[in-house]
Structure 1
Amino acid sequence: MKHGTLTTRGDRVELRFERRLAHPPEKVWRALTDGQELAHWFPARIEGTRQSGAELRFFFAEGEPGTGKISVFDPPRVLEYTWDGDLLRWELHPEGTGCLLVFTTLPGDRANVARDATGWHFCLDNLEAAIAGNPAAGFDKERFSALNAEYAARFGLGSFPAFMLNPANRVADASLRLPGVEAYVFNGADGTQLTLCHAKSDADTGEQWRDFDEYLTVLEGRYVLSINGMEIQLDAGREFVVPRGARISGRFSAGTRTLHAFGGRGLERAGPQA
């Protein structure tokens, strides 16, 4: 399977690709480390000594260079380095006359993981072509968009888009009584209210009485709703309507994102927060 997979490692996520290549590890290693070989498939030009502890610089055609450092250099088996906060690790496992390439990265920004997966998918396709002596595929905007949409559907966003995170709409933790949960509130002209919540850690809402009907959907992660003493686990994609007058509480798992629509305004914006 050529598609990348996403798993959780501690408080970060790991993006992993596996490619079986009909070439020995030594040949693939040259493609991973030699500057001329990298030019066929890697998205930037890398400058720096190829050895453990060496500082690296990454250059694009335009813009400021990126920085990184080699943490593991074990030819022809393991290469690991950082690039502007992202950890990249390449492992080569011999298999007959070929090898298994395992590429993992810990993205610094979870919100962009679908885009990152799409980019690395294309890079690995070009790596395979380069090792086989074939020309790299040119950039195909339609294919990139389609693959990016596919990865977004597989992985979710991991965060809300920037235009939804205006500090003016941010709710203070004290107002929501949800320490550890970042929330943004939007008020409708008809008196309804929409609240976006993103749990940065495990969190508990505490018990409260619902003054308005509420529509709740879990976008990512897991939310345990307690309503009138009955617990309901809501995983990503689940919806629930909480009736007015219900006695409820909720538990967020770290990383969970939820959307709440209220039949009235139960919260007021608290303004920007440090």
Structure 2
Amino acid sequence: MTTETETLSVIVEREVAFPPEKIWRALTQPHLIAEWLMKSDFRPVLGHRFDLSADWGIVNCEVREVEPHRSLAYSWDTKDLRSIVTWTLTPTENGTILRIEQQGFEPHQRPYFQGATAAWPRFVDAMEKLLAGLD
């Protein structure tokens, strides 16, 4: 049972056929981030503030956690949404378990939650296509 004070999370988790080091490049290099997510001035430095921009608007972010090739977290603030995006990379025999969680959707923010539920799998698909083309 969900109470009105609980926040919602969107989670996408899948095994991809690439090592964590290669996925880390796609998560942290601005020219690669632009290929699968949005334009940004990202740097994998704790406390670094950056924006993600698309034709629909801008997301204000701040790096919250950096553990190279393992995990990355940043705030994801846009309009009245205040959330955290966390990427976790777990090596496997065949590649990496890639997990993204966006947490912090308030019960009244169903449209944001539904948008993220639809968007993150597409972003991860786009990242996989990009990774397949990288050396």
Name the TM tier (shorter chain): 0.7 to 0.9
Corresponding residue of 1:114: 114
Candidates 19, 24, 49, aligned match of 1:24: 19
Question: 1:19 is paired with a residue of what secondary structure?
Answer: strand
Residue 61 of structure 1, CA deviation: 3.5
- For these two proteins, the number of residue pairs brought into alignment is 125
Question: 1:81 is paired with a residue of what secondary structure?
Answer: strand
Corresponding residue of 2:86: 89
Candidates 65, 72, 85, aligned match of 2:65: 72
Quick one: which amino acid aligns to residue 119 of structure 1?
A
Corresponding residue of 1:126: 126
CA distance in 1 between partners of 2:126 and 2:26 (Å): 11
Percent identity over the alignment is 27
Structure 1 gap segments, 5+ residues each: 1-6, 135-274
Candidates 51, 56, 79, aligned match of 2:50: 56
Question: 1:130 is paired with a residue of what secondary structure?
Answer: helix
CA contact (8 A) 1:69 1:83 kept: yes
CA distance in 1 between partners of 2:69 and 2:41 (Å): 20
CA distance in 2 between partners of 1:48 and 1:27 (Å): 17
CA distance in 1 between partners of 2:95 and 2:14 (Å): 11
1:224-235 aligned at under 5 Å gives the runs: none
Corresponding residue of 2:95: 98
Question: 1:99 is paired with a residue of what secondary structure?
Answer: strand
CA contact (8 A) 2:11 2:102 kept: yes
Larger RCO (CA within 8 A; separation ≥ 6): 2
Quick one: which amino acid aligns to residue 100 of structure 2?
F
CA distance in 2 between partners of 1:62 and 1:114 (Å): 16
CA contact (8 A) 2:9 2:103 kept: yes
Q: Select the structure of larger CA radius of gyration.
A: 1
Residue 49 of structure 1, CA deviation: 3.0
CA distance in 2 between partners of 1:48 and 1:102 (Å): 20
In 2 relative to 1, CA 61–14 (structure 1 residues): closer, same or farther, beyond 3 Å? closer
Question: 2:69 is paired with a residue of what secondary structure?
Answer: coil
State the TM-score, normalizing by the size of structure 1: 0.42
Question: 1:87 is paired with a residue of what secondary structure?
Answer: strand
Residue 128 of structure 1, CA deviation: 1.0
CA contact (8 A) 2:15 2:97 kept: yes
Quick one: which amino acid aligns to residue 101 of structure 1?
L
Moved over 4 A (4+): none
Question: 1:14 is paired with a residue of what secondary structure?
Answer: strand
CA contact (8 A) 2:28 2:42 kept: no
Residue 62 of structure 1, CA deviation: 5.7
CA contact (8 A) 1:15 1:107 kept: no
Question: 1:132 is paired with a residue of what secondary structure?
Answer: helix
